[in-house]
């Protein structure tokens, strides 16, 4: 079965898993504004990592499985900006005042 990328599948599966009735209840559980969820469902905004992590926290389902629910088949992720890449590559250490 080939899965097509559809963020709505992720939200529908999460609603079913949590035995919720609708998007409004899902918004309350995720602590996300309803217009934001609607825009993600309609593909006007990408699903952020924060939303995926929040779904993982409340359901206990692995991030890999959540990505499969929405049809994400990428094997690797790219950082969104050059500044983020520099920060990710910076050595971790104590911050000096």
Phi, psi (rounded to 5 degrees) for 18: -90, 0
Please check the confidence at residue 35 and state whether its pLDDT lies above 90.
yes
pLDDT tens string 4-17: 889 999 999 999 99
Model confidence, pTM: 0.72
Domains defined along the chain, listed by start: 7-72 (1.10.260)
> Which residue, 3, 30, 1, is CA-closest to 14?
30
pLDDT tens string 36-93: 999 999 999 999 889 999 999 999 999 889 988 888 877 665 555 555 555 555 555 5
> Which residue, 53, 63, 46, 56, is CA-closest to 7?
46
**79, 85 contact by CB (below 8 A):** yes
């Amino acid at each position: 079965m080939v899965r097509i990328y559809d963020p709505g599948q992720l939200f529908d599966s999460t609603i079913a898993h949590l035995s919720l009735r609708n998007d409004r209840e899902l918004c309350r559980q995720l602590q996300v504004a309803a217009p934001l969820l609607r825009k993600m469902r309609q593909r006007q905004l990408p699903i952020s990592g924060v939303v995926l992590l929040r779904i993982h926290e409340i359901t206990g389902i692995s991030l890999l499985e959540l990505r499969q629910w929405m049809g994400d088949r990428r094997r690797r992720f790219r950082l969104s900006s050059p500044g983020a890449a520099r920060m990710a590559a910076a050595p971790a250490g104590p911050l000096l005042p």
